[in-house]
Structure 1
């Protein structure tokens, strides 16, 4: 049984009108992506801005 939803399915669901799908996608990648961004810019405010821009 698959416990995580594939990113492609989440994106398709979002395109099809499921607003919750983008929230799930963002939450799924938040920690890892934020950590990576922070390792490059060393500023939490800039990290948050870049993270938000990623999903716009």
Structure 2
């Protein structure tokens, strides 16, 4: 194979890997954000239910 044939293949492969890795990072960030938000909501709900009634 010539060098002129290998370079475009490597460039496309590198771009594809960049897209896959970036997508994975975005996915993991979104999942982490969603889980943190859900946990904070649960903590707030638990605080309300545990709070004694003031009369």
| Interval of TM-score (by shorter of Structure 1 and Structure 2) | under 0.3
TM-score under structure 1 length normalisation: 0.27
More helix by share: 2
Larger C-alpha radius of gyration, 1 or 2? Answer: 2
Q: Which has the higher contact order (CA 8 A, sep 6+)?
A: 1
